[in-house]
């Protein structure tokens, strides 16, 4: 799994030069901003799409339940938050990275600060055109 995470981060780093901003209505007050979408057609990744998404949780914000239909890799850029995923509570802070399996319930995410936002970069890899988030 660590090799897959490193591969995903290497792929996204390679394609960062073609950054493209888009917005989607989702589960946070500040809509997640897609900063890169790239279709992959290599021998091992046929018709797979990589999306890099900047996610911001406002101070004290708590997101409602949702699922990610495709694998999720994330890196915390700033802040500290609590995440309930697949029934377990996790704590993340700036500099942490994590992986979430597809379709498991992301019960909630809570920004633990009342004054500072949380920002994370999420990387999704899945079939072309498949959404990266589905409200519960």
| Residues 45-84: tens digit of each pLDDT | 788 899 999 999 999 999 999 999 999 999 999 999 999 9
The 10 Å Cβ neighbour count of residue 117 is 18
- Among 68, 60, 47, residue whose Cα is nearest residue 123: 68
Per-residue pLDDT, 93: 96
CA distance 85 to 9: 22
**What domains are there in the chain, each with its CATH number?**
2-128 (2.60.120.10)
Residue 92's φ and ψ, nearest 5 degrees, are -130, 150
Q: How does pLDDT run across 88-125, given as a tens digit for each residue? A: 999 999 999 999 999 999 999 999 999 999 999 999 99
Would you list the DSSP string of 31-61? EEEEEEEEEE-SSSSTTEEEEEEEEEE-TT-
Higher pLDDT: 12 or 104? It is 104
So what's the pLDDT on residue 26?
57
Indicate yes or no: pTM above 0.85: no
Task: For residue range 20-49, list pLDDT tens digits in order.
Answer: 333 344 577 888 888 777 777 777 778 889
């Amino acid at each position: 799994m660590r090799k897959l995470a490193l591969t995903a981060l290497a792929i996204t780093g390679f394609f960062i030069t073609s950054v493209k901003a888009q917005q989607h209505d989702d589960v946070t007050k500040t809509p997640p901003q897609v900063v890169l979408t790239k279709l992959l057609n290599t021998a091992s990744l046929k018709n797979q799409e990589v999306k890099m998404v900047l996610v911001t949780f406002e101070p004290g914000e708590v997101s409602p339940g949702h699922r990610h239909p495709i694998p999720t890799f994330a890196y915390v850029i700033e802040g500290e938050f609590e995440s309930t995923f697949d029934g377990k509570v996790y704590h993340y802070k700036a500099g942490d990275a994590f992986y979430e399996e597809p379709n498991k319930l992301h019960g909630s995410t809570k920004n633990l600060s009342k004054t500072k936002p949380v920002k994370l970069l999420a990387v999704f890899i899945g079939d072309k055109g498949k959404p990266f988030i589905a409200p519960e």
